[in-house]
Chain A
C-alpha cells in the first residue's frame, strides 16, 4: 500500500501503544500478543494520533532528532505498519 503524504494516521483501534516500565520500551498490545518496539518505531507510532500525516511526522522527527532526509525511512516504516494493520488512515467523521 502506498501512503499519501497528507493522509492523517492513527493507531488501529484493535491495538494499544504503551510504555512498559519493566521492559524499558514501548510495546503494541493486541489480543493475546505484543510487539516490542525499538525507540525509532515508537517515536514514529506515537505521532500516529489522528492529527499527523507523513509530512508532519517527518517534520517533527527531523526537529526532535536534528536530522534530515529521513522521509524514505519513515515512509517505509509507516507503510509496513499500515500493511500490518497497526495503524490506519483516519476515518473521516
Chain B
C-alpha cells in the first residue's frame, strides 16, 4: 500500500511521546516493555522538537507526555513550550513523583494544558507497596497543587485485584481532591501486567461489583467530576477497537525513537518498527511497512475476514492476539468467535486459582535485566 498525504489514509491525531523509561516507581502493571532496561539512548531535546513539529504538521493535536516518568527529563518544560507553541493540547501523564509547586508553575508558564496524576490506591500502605516507593502523601499534595494552579485535574487509578475492593474509597478520594476527571483504568495485560496477570486479574464478580459502584457514583458527581471507565476486556464478548484501528489515529514514539502504531507493538515479531532517527514522521506514517501492516481488512483471517463487526472493532488488538495465540494475524482471543477464546477463560481460571502469596514482580531495571538478559 503505497501512501502519500493525498491518499485516503487518515492522519494521526494523537501523539504519545514516551520521553523516557526512567521511573522512580516500580508498578507491577507497567505497560513498558519487559526489556526496557536494555533499550537504546533517549532522544535528545532537539530530536523531540523535530518529532513534535513533524507530527503536528501531519495533523496530530493531542500530545501525551509519558514514560517512564516524564518528570525525570530536565528539558520537559522546553519540550512543553515547543509543543504548545505548535498548537498541541499537552497532557502530562505522571506519577507526580518529583513534582513540586515551582515545577508545576514552570510547566504552566511553558503552556502545559493538563496534568494527569496516577495514584495506586486510596490507602497509603497499599499505594506505597504497589508503587514500590513511599509516595502516597506526596501524590495527594501534587493533586491539590495541580488544582490550585488552575489545571484540569485528572486522577488516574489503575484497577486490578489488589485494589478493586477499594472502589468506593477511590471514588471518595477523587471527589475529595476535587478531580475534574477520574480515569478508572482496568489493567490491560501487556508488558509487566501480563507477567503478573495471575496476581492482578480480578474475578468476574469483583469486576461487576466495582463497576456497579462506579456507575452509581457517576450519578452522584454528575456535572462536577467525569468518570472514564476503561473496560476490562478479558470479561467482554467482543474485543476493543484497539487504537481506533491500526495506523489510523495513534502514533507512539518510544524513548529510543522507535515509532509504534500502539505502545505495545514493539513486542510483535518481525514488525521492524521504524525509528524517527532514520525517517521523518511523514515517511513513517504513510510509507513504513509497520504502519501499513494492519491497515484496512486485507490482512485478516477468519473469523474476522467475514465478520460483520470487523469495521467496528478491527479484529481487536494485534498485540493481544500475538501474546495469547502466538499469531499477530489472529482474531483478538477476547472475542467469543475466536477459536482461541478458551485461552482467555483459562487465564481467568488460572488467576482465580493462583495462590495469594505468589509474589508480584516489580518493574525495575534489575528485574528487566534478569528477565530479558
Contact string against B for A residues 1-44, beta-carbon threshold 8 Å, 1 for contact and 0 otherwise: 00000000000011010101011000101111110000000000
- Choose from B87, B152, B154 the contact partner of A18 (Cβ within 8 Å): B87
A30 cross-chain contacts in B, Cβ below 8 A: 89, 114, 152
A85 contacts the other chain (Cβ, under 8 Å)? yes
CB <8 Å contact, A29 and B61:
yes
A34 to B114, CA, bound (A): 14
CB <8 Å contact, B154 and A22:
no
CB <8 Å contact, A29 and B62:
yes
CB <8 Å contact, B150 and A31:
no
CB <8 Å contact, B152 and A14:
yes
How many chain A residues have a CB neighbour from B under 8 Å? Answer: 15
Given A27-B61, A34-B62, A16-B223 contact (CB < 8 Å):
no
Listed residue (B11, B13, B89, B114) with the most chain A CB atoms within 10 angstroms of its CB: B89
CB <8 Å contact, A31 and B223:
no
A57 to B70, CA, bound (A): 43
B13 cross-chain contacts in A, Cβ below 8 A: 34
CB <8 Å contact, B59 and A14:
no
- Shortest CB-to-CB span from A81 to chain B, Å, is 13
B324 contacts the other chain (Cβ, under 8 Å)? no
A88 to B136, CA, bound (A): 34
12 contacts between A and B (CB under 8 A): A14-B152, A16-B113, A20-B61, A22-B61, A23-B59, A27-B61, A30-B152, A31-B154, A32-B154, A34-B13, A34-B62, A34-B89
CB <8 Å contact, A20 and B59:
yes
CB <8 Å contact, A32 and B59:
no
Q: Which chain B residue shows the least CB distance to A27?
A: B61
CB <8 Å contact, A31 and B61:
no
- Shortest CB-to-CB span from A59 to chain B, Å, is 30
A38 to B95, CA, bound (A): 37
